[in-house]
Amino acid sequence: MRIATWNINSVRKREQRVRDFLERSDVDVLCLQETKCTNAQFPDFTDTGYEQAHNGGSSFNGVALLSRVGLDNVSTEFGQPGFSKDLSKEPAVEARAIGAECNGVTVWSLYVPNGREIADPHYTYKLRWLHALADYAAQGPEKLCLVGDFNIAPRDEDVWDRSYFNGKTHVTPRERACLDELEKAGLTAATDLIKDEYTYWDYQAMRFPKNEGIRIDLQYARGITAESARVDRDERKGKEPSDHAPVIVDYS
């Protein structure tokens, strides 16, 4: 079973890239993040032979699943908290998660909150969101695959310059401890098979040509075994690419 995750950074802007990727990649399930559209605006990919499910509410966030091996029991909540800058308002659950059963495996496409800055309430929200994900994983289905843009670099080696991130999010011990919670829940970091490759390069400062990237697009699995993993770096090239590259894992 081949599962890919890709922060597409606007699916409407890059619909043809998705179509081309599906045609040549031979993936069974494609998980998209940052689709940046409502459900009504999400493109129809069913002519490609893939079923689809999308969770989006605005021009921010948004996640989707495209599957050619079944798409059953679709869900958009695993117990995650909501977020609101206005403390007088009820926190809204953002469109950051969608899951379904695909060939007997429960697959979730996840767009973990960025965290912004360590002193920002969004950082606390990020940690709470990840704790809820670990709680779900601990009690969740036997065959489980959590994939997406985690906005965390698991190791210092997963950023091009650790000193650049001093005092910033994505590399803090508390964030990385949340990834450890997933492993304590019985999941394995399938994308740890990828060595010395990044998955995200900022558009600014010529980060991609200089290979100044970070590895934040991850896959965690239980009940299935990762045999190989790779980054489709070519998808970061060409005209108007996403700032992320697809990450593909083959499971047995």
Neighbours of 206 (CB within 10 A): 10
CB neighbours (10 Å) of residue 120? 14
d(CA 205, CA 200): 13
44 with 20: CB under 8 angstroms? no
What is this structure's pTM?
A: 0.97
Domains of the chain (ranges; CATH) run 2-251 (3.60.10.10)
Q: Which of 111, 125, 136, 251 is catalytic?
A: 111
Residue 86 has pLDDT above 70, yes or no: yes
Q: Among this protein's residues, is 54 annotated catalytic?
A: no
Q: What is the pLDDT of residue 133?
A: 98
Banded model confidence at residue 51, pLDDT cuts 50, 70, 90:
very high
Which residues, 6+ apart, have CB-to-CB distance to 199 below 8 Å?
A: 213, 214, 215, 216, 217, 231, 244, 245, 247
Average pLDDT over the chain, rounded to an integer: 97
Q: For tokens 């709470």, name the residue.
A: 128
Structure-token pair, residue 203:
């558009």
User: What residues are designated binding site?
Assistant: 7, 34, 149, 151, 243-244
Residues 198-246: pLDDT tens digits?
999 999 999 999 999 999 999 999 999 999 999 999 999 999 999 999 9
Mean pLDDT calculated for residue range 35-59: 96
Catalytic residue list contains 244: yes
Please report, in range form, the residues annotated as the binding site for Mg(2+).
Answer: 7, 34, 149, 151, 243-244
Q: Is 100 left (phi over 0), alpha (psi -120 to 50) or beta?
A: beta
Sign of CA dihedral 16, 19, 23, 24: positive
Q: Which of 54, 123, 125, 149 is catalytic?
A: 149
pLDDT (tens digit per residue) in 136-180: 999 989 999 999 999 999 999 999 999 999 999 999 999 999 999
pLDDT score recorded for residue 87? 67
